[in-house]
Structure formats: structure tokens, C-alpha cells
Amino acid sequence: MPSSSWSSRRHLPNSPFQPEPERVVEIFETGDRVSHDIHGLGLVVGVDSYGVTVDFGAQTLRITSPFNKMEKL
């Protein structure tokens, strides 16, 4: 049985359905001010290839990529 993947399907120009937009992952640097939907305002204190460490004042948390609930200010 052949395997099929939704990501490998191509979008036909005459299709009435819109293609799914490509997900853009934001890039953070040490010192960036951020806003998180749950934890509030914070400061990026560490960056690695899989996520960032953010100081939210009361606690320091590691947030993994993709950063769905966090945006750069």
C-alpha cells in the first residue's frame, strides 16, 4: 500500500480550496522583549536550536519552537 502525505500534495490553480499557508517560525535573539499569551511579558536570556529561555520575572521558562503563543515586541 503506497503511503501518502498531505504535505506532498500540490495545489491546483483551479481548485476552489485555498492552500494552507506556510508556517513562519519567528527568530529570537538574546535581549529581545517578548509577550507570551499565558506568561505575559518577558526577556529572552538564552537561545538554542530548539527553543529559547525567557525570564518572565517570577519564573524563567524554556519555550520550544514553534513559538505559537509568543511574539517579539
Who's near 21: CB < 8 A, 6+ residues apart?
A: none
Which pTM does this prediction carry?
0.68
In degrees, to the nearest 5, what angle opens at C-alpha 40 toward C-alphas 34 and 46? Answer: 45
Cβ atoms of 70 and 35 within 8 Å: the answer is: yes
Q: Hey, where are the domains in the chain?
A: 29-73
**What does the pLDDT profile of the chain (73 residues) look like in tens digits?**
455 555 567 778 888 888 777 777 788 999 999 999 999 999 999 999 899 999 999 999 999 988 888 999 9
> Does domain 29-73 sit in CATH 2.30.30.140?
yes
Amino acid present at 47? V
